[in-house]
Structure 1
Amino acid sequence: MAENSKKMSVTQLTIITAVNMMGSGIVMLPSKLASVGTMSILSWLVTLTGALCLAYGFARCGMFSKNTKEGMGGYAEYAFGKDGNFMANFTYALSLVIANVAIAVSAVGYGSVLLNIKLSPIQTCLWTIVMVVITTLANFGGPSITGKIGSVTVWGVIIPVVFISIFGWFWFHGHLYASAWNVHNISFGKGIASSIPITLWSFLGLESAAANSDAVENPQKNVPIAVLVGTIAAGVIYILSTNVMQGIVPNAAIAKSNAPFGLAFATMLGPVWGKICMALMTIACIGSLLGWQFTVAEVFRSSAVAGYFPKVFNKVSKLGAPIAGMIILMIVQILLSLMTISPDLNAQFNNLVNLAVVTNLVPYVLSMAAVKVIQIDAGLKAGDRGYSMTNFITVVAGIYSLYSMYACGNLALALGALVAFAGWTIYGLISHKFDYKPM
């Protein structure tokens, strides 16, 4: 009884799941969606359906897998062996590196509007690099402070987004929303496809929701409930906040803005509140980036422990920080910042998001393909409760993931394919440690 009292309730896990997804991914979202028009709400519905299927699949993985501590790599290993484990870890780790640069770009965008500074492409790149360097160096002191900062700064995103979702309707104009339905007169299919990557970007991280299965009461019942309800809650807030904004601010203004939420608050409540919103979201992005810098270094460190990555990533300081790995990852992020320089900050952000989504979807596809094997290994069979339904849902989740890869565009797909082939090449060089058996 005492042990149970220390565990989370389904309500607590649901809140944690929703809050984990509602990080800095949404801050630049309205600008991209405005370039499509309000018909992008159709993309939200498709993405929410796909995200729910993925969330349910990961919930089942968390309940029945014996490799939960290895994350998506542990799930993939059931169906694809050590090769699948390596590829899931490799692509996921790289997607986080790319996502960090996108978060840094978001912080620079909001910060520049907050300070009323017009940045050239080179200046945007340099300030993005400054963000990457500062947040990396700040993590040299270890994880104790990083987590506390992130748990506070994330509210700099959540509060404005929830506020506009609930109260923004008082400033909403239906004619403004309707006039922005299809601003470029494109087909429904093209409109949905072009919005899928950026809407999915806001849900990335849903796979982590199943990681708390050991810390919740009655996990077999409560984990799926928390993951699905948390995903729905985040999705509803995303849909409400980005769509109500289209009825408050003219579409063209949102599409060009480097700080769309700040623009919306300035329109609703005046310039001062717009500045406050921008300041909160800039701080939230920096806090989020601070946390993700440590997280990505930890992902590389754990993969190095497993023998997938070079041992240099496993070196830890007295304070518990993998400093050598952080420095290497910082250099990679600086190179990415230089490679993605664009005349338009939104374009640079979109390029990074598309590539991050493609590489993040690789472990999603591998994990969903392994769910059937995970269930069989756990002793489930046809006729058992949830077995066939789970298999169906995860097939839908896999198809949605593949469609989302396609929607990211040719460039992101080509670069993602190069990443995957590079991964197999690297695995070939280290595979003797795992699967190689002499004939």
Structure 2
Amino acid sequence: MNSGRKATRRGLGFWMTLALVVGNLIGSGIYLLPATLAPLGTNQLIGWLVTIGGALCLAVVFARLGAKLPLAGGPYAYASAAFGPLAGFATAWSYWTMIWAGNGAIAVAVVSNLSLIAPWIGKTEGVPALLSVACVWLLTAVNIRGVRAAGEVSLVTSALKLMPLVLLIALALWLALSGAPHVVQPPVPIAAGAIATAAGLTFWGFLGLESATVPADKVENASTVVPRATLIGTVLTGVVYLGISLAFYAYMPTGQAAASPAPVADFLGAHFGGHVASVVAVFAAISAFGTLNGFILLQGEVPWAMARGGVFPAWFGKESSRGTPTRAHIVSSILLSCVTLMNFSRGLGDLFQFIASVSLAAGMLSYLMAMLAAIRLLPAERLLTVVALIGAAFIVWAAWGLGEKALGYGALFVLAGVPVYWAVRLRQDAMR
């Protein structure tokens, strides 16, 4: 599964791999999440701590698997090695579905933030949809050009997206050190249900922590770089997320934060002037654009790895002269474009939200299978087994938060891929 790429091609170094992880974790959502979490009060801080703890367990497991088995495909490769091709296919199918369906929302987020700077975009019928699809195909072209080009985009956008977030945290630290009075927030009872709600919301901010493991065959010195980038990227992201949440809790009233359509911009604007809102919107668009780039890289790599593993049509396993899975990229982006356009179609917004939630429920399987694969593949590492069990329990808990309906349809989504698997297997048997 890790063969087929020429060693002479330049791959992703440590900084580009770290940028891929951080870029995929920190998207446009963090610019809106403070408003969503504000009504939960102290529960949001506890929820962040629980989520960060769970994410670190997942990161440790993925880092160890990446060090021991630097195979292309990430969760798919591990599930296939541990439980066979059918389990590997189900894992990859769920993961791939989650990526390309979820990318539709990210593409929309890019244009939504741009419309805050140029209102005519949102007021002109058809323009937002066309710009969103244009972003998809621009970044698809970048990824087809080569992993190095995609890595360079991730490096630049990851550095830029951190700037306003780090500025916000630095401002909060300065306020604390200068003795500025804290905001007295209205009391919100600490409750298990509210903590679960907070953890459910914050977990989406860590989807993609396994990003470095998926294109592992393209990473230079993968057995060292992949685990380092996975752990450092997850820790760095957790620090940024928690720092922002603490800043809002300490220095912005709950009601103001909850009612704000752009809480990060409002927080910074209160101290640097209202004109900062447009600047933050630019960075939010860059943030979403960088995240879209990283996940488009993954949505091409997963079907390529499946095809090379013999559980997906071999057509997807063909590469360009640059060593990129061009066919897999094109098909994935066609699906992504359809989902993106569907989000802009009149009367189909609810359908898009339904598909996104179902695909996310289906995608949880890939994380669970990776935890179970670690237990199966590395039985001698008892501490890792404990960490993997905690990670698996966290995934089950987070999936439960999606609700029975989403999980039920998510299971059907996974089962819908089974005929594809058997068709491929039958064709292979017939050719023998």
Shift in alpha-carbon separation, 1:287–1:30, aligned structure 2, 3 A: same
- Tell which deviates more after alignment, 297-306 or 395-404: 297-306
Match of 1:30 in 2: 34
- Structure 2 SS opposite 1:271: coil
d(CA) in 1 for partners of 2:232 and 2:296? 28
| AA at the equivalent of 2:386 | F
Q: 1:235, CA displacement in angstroms?
A: 0.9
Shift in alpha-carbon separation, 1:147–1:112, aligned structure 2, 3 A: same
Q: 1:81, CA displacement in angstroms?
A: 0.9
| AA at the equivalent of 1:164 | L
Match of 2:221 in 1: 215
d(CA) in 2 for partners of 1:104 and 1:89? 22
Answering whether residue 298 of structure 2 is matched by residue 295 of structure 1, we say: yes
Determine which of 314, 318, 326 is the counterpart of 2:317.
314
Answer yes or no: is the 8 Å Cα contact 1:73–1:88 preserved in 2: yes
| AA at the equivalent of 2:285 | T
Match of 2:198 in 1: 195
Match of 1:52 in 2: 56
d(CA) in 2 for partners of 1:259 and 1:300? 37
Q: 1:416, CA displacement in angstroms?
A: 1.8
Answering whether residue 243 of structure 2 is matched by residue 240 of structure 1, we say: yes
d(CA) in 2 for partners of 1:79 and 1:198? 31
Shift in alpha-carbon separation, 1:70–1:291, aligned structure 2, 3 A: closer
- Structure 2 SS opposite 1:69: coil
Match of 1:403 in 2: 397
Answer yes or no: is the 8 Å Cα contact 1:369–1:398 preserved in 2: yes
| AA at the equivalent of 1:160 | P
Shift in alpha-carbon separation, 1:266–1:369, aligned structure 2, 3 A: same
Answering whether residue 151 of structure 2 is matched by residue 151 of structure 1, we say: no
Q: Structure 2 regions of 5+ residues with no counterpart?
A: 1-11
Match of 1:263 in 2: 266
Q: How does 1:79-94 map to 2 (within 5 A)?
A: 79-94=82-97
Determine which of 46, 55, 60 is the counterpart of 1:42.
46
- Structure 2 SS opposite 1:300: helix
Q: How does 1:282-361 map to 2 (within 5 A)?
A: 282-318=285-321, 322-340=325-343, 354-355=357-358, 357-361=360-364
d(CA) in 2 for partners of 1:175 and 1:118? 39
Shift in alpha-carbon separation, 1:341–1:266, aligned structure 2, 3 A: same
Match of 1:383 in 2: none
Determine which of 163, 167, 178 is the counterpart of 2:185.
178
Determine which of 274, 278, 298 is the counterpart of 2:281.
278
Q: 1:403, CA displacement in angstroms?
A: 0.7
Shift in alpha-carbon separation, 1:189–1:324, aligned structure 2, 3 A: same
- Tell which deviates more after alignment, 293-302 or 363-372: 293-302
Q: 1:343, CA displacement in angstroms?
A: 10
What is the CA RMSD across the aligned residues, in angstroms?
A: 4.0
| AA at the equivalent of 1:405 | A
Q: 1:364, CA displacement in angstroms?
A: 1.2
d(CA) in 1 for partners of 2:16 and 2:145? 29
| Number of residue pairs aligned between Structure 1 and Structure 2 | 411
Match of 2:65 in 1: 61
- Deviations for 1:147-167, whole angstroms, at most 9, x for unmatched residues? 222211122211111221222
Shift in alpha-carbon separation, 1:85–1:434, aligned structure 2, 3 A: farther
Match of 2:7 in 1: none
Shift in alpha-carbon separation, 1:30–1:312, aligned structure 2, 3 A: farther
Answer yes or no: is the 8 Å Cα contact 2:25–2:207 preserved in 1: no
d(CA) in 1 for partners of 2:282 and 2:353? 22
- Deviations for 1:347-405, whole angstroms, at most 9, x for unmatched residues? 999867744543332111111112222124xxx3xxxxxx2222122111101101111
Q: Structure 1 regions of 5+ residues with no counterpart?
A: 1-7, 381-386
- Deviations for 1:179-205, whole angstroms, at most 9, x for unmatched residues? 3x64xx7x7222222232331222222
Q: 1:435, CA displacement in angstroms?
A: 9.5
Match of 1:430 in 2: 424
Answer yes or no: is the 8 Å Cα contact 1:23–1:288 preserved in 2: yes
| AA at the equivalent of 2:193 | K
TM-score (norm 1): 0.78
| AA at the equivalent of 1:29 | L
Match of 2:112 in 1: 109
Answer yes or no: is the 8 Å Cα contact 2:66–2:222 preserved in 1: no
d(CA) in 1 for partners of 2:410 and 2:278? 37
Q: 1:427, CA displacement in angstroms?
A: 2.2
Match of 2:76 in 1: 73
Determine which of 402, 405, 414 is the counterpart of 1:420.
414
d(CA) in 2 for partners of 1:362 and 1:272? 44
| AA at the equivalent of 2:399 | M
d(CA) in 2 for partners of 1:347 and 1:37? 29
d(CA) in 1 for partners of 2:383 and 2:124? 49
Answer yes or no: is the 8 Å Cα contact 1:102–1:352 preserved in 2: no
Shift in alpha-carbon separation, 1:81–1:317, aligned structure 2, 3 A: closer
d(CA) in 1 for partners of 2:140 and 2:285? 17
TM-score (norm 2): 0.79
d(CA) in 1 for partners of 2:344 and 2:329? 23
Identity value in percent:
27
Answer yes or no: is the 8 Å Cα contact 1:368–1:397 preserved in 2: yes
Shift in alpha-carbon separation, 1:127–1:216, aligned structure 2, 3 A: closer
Answering whether residue 165 of structure 2 is matched by residue 161 of structure 1, we say: yes
